[in-house]
Amino acid sequence: MPEEEDLSPNLVTEGVKQSHGEFIPPEGLCWVSVMSCLLLACSYVGSLYVWRSDLPRDHPTVIKRRFTSVLIVSGLSPLFVWAWRDFTGVRTGPSLLALMGIRFEGLIPAIILPLLLTMVLFLGPLMQLAMDCPWSFIDGIRVAFDPWFWMLCFSDMRWLRNQVVAPLTEELVFRACMLPMLVPCAGPSVAIFTCPLFFGVAHFHHVIELLRFRQGTLSGIFLSAVFQFSYTAVFGAYTAFIFIRTGHLIGPVLCHSFCNYMGFPAISAALDHPNRLTILSSYLLGVVLFLLFLLPFTDPYYYVLPTPVCTLTSSRSFLCLS
């Protein structure tokens, strides 16, 4: 008598087989997934250059035009996931929006814990910023609750790009849409390190503008591009980790916005700071606490098990376990 077919949502397609509890992707799934991600990345970056202009990227006119194009591409990006799922025959229990991290279950922890974890990592830069800030703590609180301050921020195109549009659209495209396509093929662990490659390469387009406006030497621009690729790839792996562990888009978006605000830690300035011992100790303490809290703060238990993207694989990855 033939065995009954398992129709659980963890089985990704009808062609998927299980061997000793390990996930075996159907033939051709990886190629389709990688090509879909590549097409999505090219669409996002390409949308930035549909406008012909001799103005630099920080000009308000250029920023507004690029807002239009990336918002259109980002709005259409879920169609890539839908088309990928329809073409490959992937069967999912959660809805498409849930797979992309748009859901209400565990929303409050997803807003607070990943951002708090990232702030712990930046304890040194935050300490340095607090020491150099001319405002008192009370003044800072007043500014934070001042509506005129926020009106000024939202009227600044560069602030709006760096703190709102870029984090939202990049995390939607490069995490929320790509990870559901990569996890069934590569598994959660490999997907965390594969997904950021698309994100890092996508930032190479800045080289075009640096060369175009001759902002530095050729070797300097190349080194800057390599550094930016490395930094964005590492950051992309971190936000991919958060996305898979929490199953939410909001956490990576907030962390992305915070990191854009903080920038890369000014370690050289910390070494020359009058209070460098305190600041460097804060740097070290932040890294140690970050490593200690990394798994507890992203425990899937707080975000309702199993997280949607983890239902796309039957491999037992620690990333999906509480």
Residue whose pair of structure tokens reads 């300490």 in the numeric block: 127
Local structure of residue 7 (DSSP, 8 states): -
- Would you say the pTM of this structure is higher than 0.85? yes
Q: Are 280 and 127 in contact (CB under 8 A)?
A: no
The span from the CA of 259 to the CA of 239, in Å, is 11
Q: Are 282 and 226 in contact (CB under 8 A)?
A: no
Average pLDDT along the chain, 322 residues, taken 10 residues at a time: 40 42 60 92 88 83 93 95 88 89 96 98 94 84 89 94 96 96 91 87 64 66 78 92 97 97 90 92 97 96 91 82 84
Per DSSP (E only), the strands in 13-95 are 17-19, 22-24
> Helix-strand-coil percent breakdown of the chain, rounded to 5?
70, 0, 30
The span from the CA of 317 to the CA of 294, in Å, is 16
State residue 150's pLDDT score: 93
Type and span of the H or E element at 22:
strand 22-24
Selecting among 203, 205, 206, 273, the annotated active-site residue is: 203
DSSP 291-318: HHHHHHHT-GGGG-SSPGGGGG--S--G
The span from the CA of 147 to the CA of 150, in Å, is 5
Catalytic site includes residue 3: no
The span from the CA of 240 to the CA of 193, in Å, is 8
Catalytic site includes residue 170: yes
Selecting among 170, 171, 248, 256, the annotated active-site residue is: 170
| Domain residue extents for the chain | 17-320
State residue 163's pLDDT score: 96
